[in-house]
Amino acid sequence: MTAARKPRAPRSRSPKAAKAVDVTLAAVPLGGVLVTGFEPFGGEDVNPSWEICRALPAAIGPARIHTLRVPTAFRTAIEVVATEIARVSPAVVLLLGQAGGRSALSVERVAINVDDARIPDNAGAQPIDEPIAAPGPAAYFATVPIKVMASAIREAGVAAEVSNSAGTFVCNHLFYGVLHYLAARGGGARAGFIHVPWLDTQAVARPGAPAMALATMVRGVEAAIAAAVTTAEDERRTEGALD
């Protein structure tokens, strides 16, 4: 779980008027897109990241969508996703995770090589100040076009931001582990991570907490996927933050 920040608002278009996702790239590699979501953790009975996966269509334009439910557990999460990558050989891997307290879809820029768990994972592990991969680099940057994706989400009428911290729990752990695995594996697959807010149903017990409807999050993630598979290079424009 990570700290809240002020998101950029969607561009002036009501959700009802948001454009349908349009993928026009002539050829998407046969492996399609692997989208993962986590099981519930921290006492919750639902995790919006997996609910989004369940609601995604079988394809977005020419890109086939594969979904995978991931255990909220250090090490096991990486192993499960790496096994699925080896099985389906996706062109893009998009990891989703819950970040309660955020009010926008957060497209993560970087994964860092450290576990520092504030709470235990679902297997009871709570690593503190431990490297994810001891011989690995200090960090990996996302290899999907994060700024184009954030812009596409806003164009779909959904609040979005580029985030510079994926936290130090299982979300960052998986993000780093997948990028590390892909760097070693080769093949050109790209990967990124999007943190999503609490569902509006989760916020009932948290008066005043930011939340988002499932249908809104699904629309934003579909737009992000379309942008990822049709964009080779990211835009060079500011999405930085002062905090």
Q: Is 108 among the residues known to form the active site?
A: yes
User: Is-catalytic flag, 233?
Assistant: no
Annotated catalytic residue within 51, 84, 108, 222: 108
Copy the structure tokens of residue 71.
């255990």
Instruction: For residue 144, give the 3-state DSSP assignment.
Output: coil
Helix (H, G, I), strand (E, B) or coil at 156: coil
The answer to whether residues 85 and 93 touch, using CB atoms and an 8 Å cutoff, is yes
173 is catalytic: no
Q: Give me the sign of the Cα torsion angle 49, 181, 4, 154.
A: negative
Three-state DSSP at 227 gives helix
Q: 169-180 burial by CB neighbour count: b if 16+ within 10 A, else e?
A: bbbbbbbbbbbb
The helix (run of H) or strand (run of E) holding residue 88 is helix 76-88
- Contact between 109 and 174 (Cβ < 8 Å): no
Point out the catalytic residue in the list 66, 173, 180, 195. 195
Catalytic residue among 53, 171, 173, 239: 171
Q: Which residues are catalytic?
A: 108, 171, 195
